[in-house]
A and B are shown apart, each in its own frame.
Chain A
Amino acid sequence: MMKRMLTTLVTLMIVGALAACGQSTTPNGASSSTNTPTNAASEAPESSSDVITHDANAKIASMSIHITNNLLALGIKPAGSVVGGDVKDFLPHVADQLEGVSKLGVVTDPDMESVLALKPDVIYIDEVYTGDDLAKFEKIAPTISIDMDNGTWRDHLNRIAQHVGKEKEAEAFIKDYEEKAERVKGLISAELGQDAKVMAIRMTAKELRVMGMKRPVGPIMFEDLALNPAVGVEKITDEPYAVISQEVLPDFDADAIFVIISKGNEAKANFDELEKNLVWKNLKAVKNKHVYVLDGQKWLDYSSIGHSMALDDAEQLFTK
């Protein structure tokens, strides 16, 4: 009796413990932009869909938030778009430009009914996420599949521009961006000095991340703005970021720290807690008041409009 009770109980408890584990590994609020698979799928063979060109005023269904944002950069408002997987809505920094646009689910779980109901003239999909469902979309409307893991946002913008016949606008956008980057670069180096080493960290509900050299944050920070990565940041090249223990923050020896705080109370509370910490308070960057809290969504959005807005954000932070 005793033994049977024990066995049952222990089984129950193990199940309980496992359930608790499962709960604790709930994916946290990573925005879809940082979840981009790292295995860069090779560009799909140029299919017939590549030559599709259409009227810029056509009814577009965009099945990728990044394609949506690149369309916006060209001054095109799609008729329908997927929403951000994290915020379950249009990304906050472009929400005002997407007023009245139909929501088509999230990229990993598109709402096909809404796509059908929209009766689009043309559909854009991200090869990485939705490539396998190409046939399904083609039944609804001509579909353009773009591998968003391949090439930079400039390539994506140019390619989309070809489809909608707005190559000039794309060119102008990029030129404008480069000029702005140059301007912001000057502002930052005036404030921090030419040789300042910087790092970008992201506080989420569960962990502290150091953003690496890869997209979304690496290219704009260390290429476009030509900032010097802090000690160790240059080694984070396999993943968009590395999870670190707060204990090793001093090892990066950064002159300036850019901070992205994930959405939600917990991430905010974690950062507030970090700010009270003695180790944090004694960091070189903190002592010299070179901590800059970024408007995270803009920086994490690897798209033309996201990056452009990130530069605006930086310009504002360094213009005082």
Chain B
Amino acid sequence: MSGHITWKTGLWFAAAIAALLMSIFLAISYGAKDLSFAMVWSSVFHYDPELTAHQIMHEYRLPRVLGAVVTGMAFATAGALMQGVTRNPMADTGILGVNAGAAFVVALCFAFWPGLSYSQLILMSFLGAALSTLFIVLLGSATQGGLHSLRLTVAGAVVAAILHSFSSGIAIYYDLSQDLAFWYAGGVAGVKWEHLKLLAPIVFIVIAWASTMGRSITFLSLGDESAASLGIHTGKIKVLGMTAAVVLAGASVSVAGSIGFVGLVVPHIARRLIGVDYRKIIPFSALLGAILLVWADFASRMVNPPREFAIGAMVALVGVPFFLYLARKERREL
């Protein structure tokens, strides 16, 4: 790796961090109540619980914007891991049914154990994500010829569809539609400090851990044989990579519902901007994912205030055209 590339990479990271900070500041500055920039600034850095404006900032805007940051990071990183590990450009926890598994279990919890605490819910959400992933991998491997990336995608899409319909069934039968609409469309409006306290450490630790796997995943993305010849334990890395993705997706679904596309689109953008090295793709995807969700959430509440638009739809509106544009430009296999 030449010094020139490192310098360029550093610039990209600096730009992404600056963009993220600016996006966060912008997102917390606008809302139903008009607040001056000075007020926003002081509420963040000199929090005074006696001031109404500071309370508004602290109770409503900061948790949801930080929630968008953390879940955006998690979904994007999970997508990058999935794509690298499965060598499948279509891989994403939304498409592969991981989110659907988590959302389904969360739906079950709402119907049968409505009193669950958040830490219990997050655990159940993990469990759902893990079980559906296991099931999808088994289903994909069961056919002749073993696990193939297209087969995995199809298996995932099928399982996601089944789980979605089960979740809908539960929602209708137990009259949960109000609760569940949220889990489908996703949203960070309900994020509270108590969620962030649990969610943020999990997400940050797993992303840091995943970044250390970057080298192995880069080799893995070249193909099993090449990776094995380079001394990579392909099986182990695959399992670890998937596990990290499942934890990230499960944690995020438990608080923000199933927000699709982030995990699919962001790694592709990251790859175009900074190359194919997963040591860089993973942290860079995290930054871009955070920026995308902060903006998607911002847009979702600014379209028709004070009513809120579904954040999932917002991500799709922004993400899909961009993704199609990328797909047209990017001729080579990802």
User: Residues on A close to B: CB < 8 A?
Assistant: 2-3, 5-6, 9-10, 12-14, 16-21, 23-24, 26, 28-29, 205-207, 243-248, 250-251, 264-266, 277-279, 282
B26 lies within 8 A of chain A by Cβ:
no
| Bound Cα distance from A18 to B314, whole angstroms | 11
Find the residue from B114, B178, B260, B320 having the highest chain A CB count within 10 A.
Answer: B178
Smallest distance from the beta carbon of A197 to chain B beta carbons, Å? 17
A264 in contact with B260 (CB, 8 Å):
no
Within 8 Å by CB of B307, from A14, A207, A278, lies A207
A14 in contact with B32 (CB, 8 Å):
no
| Stretch of B48-56, B125-133, B202-210 with 4 or more beta carbons under 8 angstroms from chain A | B48-56
Q: Chain B's interface: helix, strand, loop or mixed, by majority?
A: helix
| Bound Cα distance from A282 to B58, whole angstroms | 13
A279 in contact with B181 (CB, 8 Å):
no
B84 lies within 8 A of chain A by Cβ:
no
B307 in contact with A243 (CB, 8 Å):
yes
| Bound Cα distance from A16 to B313, whole angstroms | 9
A23 in contact with B181 (CB, 8 Å):
yes
A14 in contact with B316 given A23-B177, A28-B178 (CB within 8 Å):
yes
Smallest distance from the beta carbon of A57 to chain B beta carbons, Å? 39
A13 in contact with B185 (CB, 8 Å):
no
Interface residues in B57-84 by Cβ distance below 8 A to A read 58-61
Within 8 Å by CB of A248, from B33, B58, B61, B260, lies B33
Find the residue from A12, A17, A278 having the highest chain B CB count within 10 A.
Answer: A17
A245 in contact with B261 given A17-B312, A17-B313 (CB within 8 Å):
no
A279 in contact with B60 (CB, 8 Å):
yes
A5 in contact with B184 given A10-B324, A13-B316, A250-B52 (CB within 8 Å):
no
Within 8 Å by CB of A24, from B175, B310, B333, lies B310
User: Residues on B close to A: CB < 8 A?
Assistant: 31-33, 49, 52, 55-56, 58-61, 89-90, 94-95, 114, 150, 153, 157, 168, 175, 177-182, 184-185, 260-261, 305-307, 310, 312-313, 316, 320, 323-324, 327, 333
Closest 5 CB pairs of A and B: A245-B32, A245-B306, A205-B178, A24-B181, A247-B33
B306 in contact with A16 (CB, 8 Å):
no
A279 in contact with B184 (CB, 8 Å):
no
Q: Chain A's interface: helix, strand, loop or mixed, by majority?
A: helix
| Bound Cα distance from A165 to B56, whole angstroms | 57
Smallest distance from the beta carbon of B310 to chain A beta carbons, Å? 5
Smallest distance from the beta carbon of B102 to chain A beta carbons, Å? 15
Smallest distance from the beta carbon of A249 to chain B beta carbons, Å? 9
Within 8 Å by CB of A278, from B49, B90, B168, B181, lies B49
A243 in contact with B316 (CB, 8 Å):
no
| Bound Cα distance from A243 to B114, whole angstroms | 27
Within 8 Å by CB of A10, from B89, B175, B323, B333, lies B323
Smallest distance from the beta carbon of B196 to chain A beta carbons, Å? 16
| Bound Cα distance from A16 to B327, whole angstroms | 20
A21 in contact with B185 given A207-B307, A266-B178 (CB within 8 Å):
yes
B307 in contact with A282 (CB, 8 Å):
no
| Bound Cα distance from A226 to B282, whole angstroms | 63
Query: Hey, which chain A residues are within 8 Å of B181, CB to CB?
Result: 20, 23-24, 26
A279 in contact with B56 (CB, 8 Å):
yes
| Bound Cα distance from A3 to B333, whole angstroms | 11
Give the tally of cross-chain contacts (CB within 8 A): 102
Question: Can you list 29 A-B pairs, Cβ within 8 angstroms, ordered by A?
Answer: A5-B90, A9-B90, A9-B157, A10-B320, A10-B323, A12-B157, A13-B260, A13-B320, A14-B316, A14-B320, A17-B312, A17-B313, A18-B313, A21-B185, A23-B177, A24-B310, A29-B178, A243-B306, A243-B307, A245-B32, A245-B60, A246-B60, A247-B32, A247-B60, A248-B32, A248-B306, A264-B178, A266-B179, A278-B58
Smallest distance from the beta carbon of A300 to chain B beta carbons, Å? 18
B95 in contact with A9 (CB, 8 Å):
yes
B313 in contact with A20 (CB, 8 Å):
yes
A247 in contact with B31 (CB, 8 Å):
yes
A24 in contact with B184 given A5-B90, A13-B316, A245-B32 (CB within 8 Å):
yes
Chain A residue with minimal CB distance to B186? Answer: A20
B182 in contact with A278 (CB, 8 Å):
no
Smallest distance from the beta carbon of B195 to chain A beta carbons, Å? 12
Query: Hey, which chain A residues are within 8 Å of B33, CB to CB?
Result: 245, 247-248, 251
Q: A20-B184, A20-B310, A207-B307 are in contact. List 18 more A-B contacts (CB 8 A).
A: A2-B89, A6-B324, A6-B327, A14-B316, A17-B310, A18-B313, A21-B185, A23-B185, A24-B184, A206-B178, A243-B306, A250-B52, A250-B56, A265-B114, A278-B58, A278-B59, A279-B55, A279-B56
Query: Hey, which chain B residues are within 8 Å of A18, CB to CB?
Result: 313
Chain A residue with minimal CB distance to B264? Answer: A13
Chain B residue with minimal CB distance to A1? Answer: B150
Find the residue from B157, B260, B310, B320 having the highest chain A CB count within 10 A.
Answer: B310
| Bound Cα distance from A9 to B89, whole angstroms | 12
Smallest distance from the beta carbon of A97 to chain B beta carbons, Å? 27
Chain A residue with minimal CB distance to B35? Answer: A247
| Bound Cα distance from A244 to B308, whole angstroms | 11
A20 in contact with B312 given A250-B52, A277-B59 (CB within 8 Å):
yes
B55 in contact with A26 (CB, 8 Å):
no
Chain A residue with minimal CB distance to B333? Answer: A2
